[in-house]
Amino acid sequence: MSSKTKVATQDQKIYEHIFDAILEQRLAPGTKLTEEGLGEVFGVSRTIIRRTLSRLTHEGVVELIPNRGAYVAKPNTAAARQILDARRLIELALVERVAERGPQLQREIKLLRLLIDEEHASSARADTGTAIRLSGEFHLELAQLARNEPMANFLRALVSQTSLIIAMYQTSQQSNCAIDEHSKLLDAIELGDISAALSLMTEHLDHIEARLELVQGEQEVDLEKVFGHLRVKA
């Protein structure tokens, strides 16, 4: 292995470690990510960490704040709605393409069912973080079958941003229906039933959004109420 390949592999592994930690919600929104601290943890140079954080920033899951550093992103409710809307558009387009090839994807669908089994097991033992990550992986693996790399890469960023949104805005209402929804979606894809696959994916995304409290937007501060009584006379 050349030194260049070794560095690229290092970069990818560290990226995956941080990405998974965000997906599993082990890194909460707003967590500060220091180059020095991450470099010590992974035993690599700050240059490698800097490249990784730059990549995660490009994907929208890390925010670089001038003179302060890198933080796990904290999307506000307006941004959350936009992210979910973008995900809906991309994911419906991807699932349509996958369903077109469904009957020829027997081996791939079998592997996806094993992933669902792992998700089910994690949920059953109340390992919520792993279950969330596996749910995200299901969507990402499914997207790869559409044979559209730019769209699949875009979805990767949207899935990780959705994990942040869930961490911030999910209500106390919990549900395991997603696992069954994944299975039903695969059933439709395996049959090549495009209409059913689109309907099931829409329903699945509706359920994700229904468990989020995004009704209340950020309230604007009325400066007159705060400071009006302190008006300075000219």
pLDDT at 217: 46
Q: How far apart are CA 120 and CA 183, in angstroms?
A: 11
Q: Tell me which fold the domain 3-72 belongs to.
A: Arc Repressor Mutant, subunit A (1.10.10)
The pTM of the full predicted model, rounded to 2 decimals, is: 0.76
State the Cα–Cα distance between residues 201 and 139, nearest whole angstrom: 10
User: What would the mean pLDDT of 84-112 be, rounded to a whole number?
Assistant: 96
Question: In the chain, what are the helix, strand and coil shares in percent, each to the nearest 5?
Answer: 70, 5, 25
User: pLDDT (tens digit, 9 = 90+) per residue, 50-64?
Assistant: 999 999 998 888 999
Q: 3-72 with 77-210: one CATH topology?
A: no
CATH architecture of 77-210: Up-down Bundle (1.20)
pLDDT for 131 equals 84
Q: What is the mean pLDDT of residues 214-231?
A: 56
**Amino acid at residue number 169:** Y
Res 99: pLDDT: 97
Q: What is the pLDDT of residue 37?
A: 92
- Pick from 115, 58, 102: which is nearest to 200 by CA? 102
Highest mean pLDDT range out of 72-76, 132-136, 222-226? 72-76
**174: pLDDT confidence band, cut at 50, 70 and 90?**
low
Structure confidence by residue, pLDDT tens digits, 64-91: 999 899 999 999 999 999 999 999 999 9
Question: Please, are residues 172 and 31 in contact by the beta-carbon 8 Å criterion?
Answer: no
Q: How do the domains of the chain map onto residue ranges?
A: 3-72, 77-210
